[in-house]
Every structure is written in C-alpha cells, then in structure tokens.
Amino acid sequence: MDFGLLIFATDYAIAPDVLAREAEAHGFESLFLPEHTHIPASRLSPWPGGAELPRQYWHAHDPFVAVSYTHLRAHETRGNLVFRLVREKK
C-alpha cells in the first residue's frame, strides 16, 4: 500500500519543494496540493463557512507553480493537484 501527503500550501507553511524532498526521503509516494487560487475581490457574497474568509485562502500558493517546484526537487514522489469544481446556480 502506498501513502501520500496532502497540504494546503501557503506562504507561511513549509515550502512545497522542501516537503516533496522530505516526503520522498521518508517513503511517501505522492504529494497532493489543493487548488483555490481564485478568490473574489469583493466580499459581498460571504464565505459559506462564516463571515470572514479563512487566512489560508488569502495566502495560498498557485498550485501549478507549487507542483512545478515539487517536480524540480523530488524525482520519485509524484506531485498532484486536487481540484473540485462546483457548479454555480443562480
């Protein structure tokens, strides 16, 4: 059985390339990075979880850049993106 890691990569968390190297060194086969880079500039529509948008959303790495860094640093660990597309209703 293979195990992987998932991290919401932000500018105040461990760098994705450093985590990828460490994951590889400790036998993890994959590293997953969620995507949430498109935050509306206006807060007219509140975040469903409360009034304030959580801090990590404002500081999230661009997932494509983060996965690119992981591939530059780790050669055995697979870097992956996690996407969830939600259909908007009017």
Q: What is the pLDDT of residue 78?
A: 65
Sheet holding 78-82, edge to edge: 4-6, 30-34, 78-82
Q: What is the pLDDT of residue 29?
A: 84
Measure the CA–CA gap between 5 and 14, rounded to whole angstroms: 13
Q: What is the pLDDT of residue 77?
A: 63
- pTM for this structure? 0.69
Return per-residue pLDDT of the chain as tens, 90 residues. Answer: 788 888 888 889 998 888 888 888 898 888 888 776 566 667 777 777 777 778 887 788 887 788 887 777 777 666 665 655 555 555
Using the structure block, give the residue that is written with the tokens 């780790």: 74
Q: What is the pLDDT of residue 69?
A: 76
